[in-house]
Chain A
């Protein structure tokens, strides 16, 4: 009924309908935000209950969290430092999700990327630092691409569930890391914490101009922008959306579904691999167990909160980076357990998954604009 009624307006009032369409698009944008925002509020409320049980005032804790994350220039830089890898691991889940795949193996791709970068860095010896950085990034991305690309290939060629295979590949990656840092790639001088050889201070990643934060932040933001253009503006992304929306329609349109899936998974893995390279080249200087810091798993949360939109990943990464950055402060100021931040993240994830069923059911577009 409403379809036929508004058809009249669409055809007879052409100039008016253009502005109406633009307005409808604005409403749709807010519609898509409504559910994740509501989920965010609900989980903050639930975490508040948890905080109250520890004998603290939730409001005080939230105020302190804000201070610890965004309150000062120093704390904000700390947040940015944590947000950088989250942007890249968030892409690792978000890109395949556009094609209908749930990949949760960002941690493995990050670890592999870190190991590959840490292996190639020292091997280049006296090459100029930009060359070393480029080589490390290339190797890191290639290793990550191999890892998630394998999960994608298993899916389309053998019918293996990509969620399970990518998770299991993460365990393999971590085991491989442990083997390499204790065996073939071990730096003999690293006794307490087996590590690879340090890449050398001159090869460490420079800071982002104007910030006390390494270039990884730039990598993350650029990667999100590039992926946004790729998935939302290019023919490749268009094909990917058809595959993600309806595989049968994609086949009918003659699209190479397998190829699209494998390429997208490789890109996703490359993003996480780059995160691993950044961790090595900017933070640790070498690959060791510190690489397994959970950025890969937090990236899943980032992607879901961002509703798999590469642009939205940037602010969401800042938010979750901020939550992570405030963890230490909470411990010191309120005596909250170290895991408190993990409780918040976990709550957030569960509430978010539960809220998925409401997606698309909240209607903000007025009927006059073609809403239903």
Chain B
């Protein structure tokens, strides 16, 4: 009986042998397969997926793609650019031309920054940060938010009331302010802690990840409330459905009902919600790094690279525009994919 979920309920009602048929339909065209088919019919979503896949590959194979490290400073090649970049930007003129000031160095694919670091290397390593945030953000949000919301909605009554008030309180803090405060607090109070303490260990881990740990914690703490509310709402509407009652009546445990029957049914909307939120996490990290509260230098993040490049934008536009382009690409890709997922997983919405 455990295979009675939303899909079998829908398909199975009209059929004489519900369980066997249900298993068959599951194999041929279950709801997830349907969704997948709808997704790959969406061109924009495909483009998004390809771009994301490309960035994931770049991030994984970053060390193989470049001869430099992201922190390596070459003081003899400060603020240089290769020929094609100079040709690309009409404002940049190479040394030797009239009014020329840009030193040409074709060893670096996108040029170098104010400390002689390879821009290309920094951008591909920066993809690691943005992608990590793009996956860790929704993951914590999904884990914490969904479980929290489901428990709250399923148990109901006073527990529900208290749990939702906590969410309300969390909501009352402006997210950005809270996260800025937290980052400042972590950095200031953990950075000079004694050896062996928890704060020391946390800071050590954070330093090892180039400052990403605190970004994850910050995003994690501020991102799960939306999901919790959504999950709770879904559970409330599902709780009264017949198949849940049926499960109850044959003695399935609460945990069984929540994870076997409720969870699969609310995953669609929750995933859609989270995939649409990914660009927000990416831009939040970029913003934090831009204002200097994100990754620790010299770890490259597109946000901090744009911030550093913006200082030289009149003389060396490539230093800001290339990382900005990367950020722009990945934000678009995730937006396209998010839209595609919404259309695929929520077919009712598309028909409207």
A and B pair up: no
